[in-house]
Structure 1
């Protein structure tokens, strides 16, 4: 009697592993079809926009400049939500900011909405959209389940943020200006720490999910 039970348990674990293999984190709980799924997705979009807005305003003391948690939230939401839902969320965040709500890191009562978005930060906001979509695609392939692959995904995401950001700065202020000193080098240490943080947290959540379901 022991052998059939052991084989049944093994097949069940295999089925569970297969089911989870192509999912992102937000798909492993709650409704997965019908009205329930749509309600869950709408709630996740609202929650994601709120998280992005709050994270953008969190400033952590760091040398040589303080860092915000905006990029960490952008990339983590991209990985946790997947490409499509992540894209809807980040575009919703951009729309909220364009309307004039103070949801960006450097926006204020004096400078907000499209005025702020078309300034020096504009290229980085474009990069946010690209990075969110890319992290969602990579997470769908399972890159968010190990430290090394998640760290690589975060590195790719940061590149996708910085490239349009620096190009935007160069076009806006001129390439004779110290573009790298303005928009890249002061933030590298902080971004490296955020990369490590995400590379630890997301695989840890997957590990917890796997243990909870076995």
Structure 2
């Protein structure tokens, strides 16, 4: 579980599928109101407080983004509290169960995204993807001093999907950036057919 602060009132939590499995939670459970998910959220907020000093009391907007092959990104935004903290602590013990007032938004993206530290790694993975006839598609972005290759699974044969992921993982790492964040804050280097374009420029 990785936690980082995006602003004074906003944090980002990246959960791998291993993080979920360790807690007995399946990917689809995040869409359900079950005790395990509440326990996970409490654990995330405790860790956010201990690592970042992020106080999660009061109303919270929670956005959950499911990423294929990577895990989940949870964006937590703290809202303004109505009333004083004295009013909250004067409630009975049952209030502990409702300490987080959450408005949860869920979004699932099928787009596969991997980040690379060096452009040379991008060149090599594109060469391998083309040589294995896995895909020539893709969009290439620059974001946070890294290169991110985004692939649309619909344009990859289902039977070859795992092979694509394996190659990407060999040269890069799964990114916790959501596609929405990438579109908003990333710089587009190649808007389409990135694998083909890179191979054309560097190997022909």
Q: TM-score range by the shorter chain?
A: under 0.3
Higher helix share: 1
Which one has the bigger strand percentage? 2
Provide TM-score, normalisation by structure 2. 0.24
Q: TM-score, structure 1 length as denominator? A: 0.23
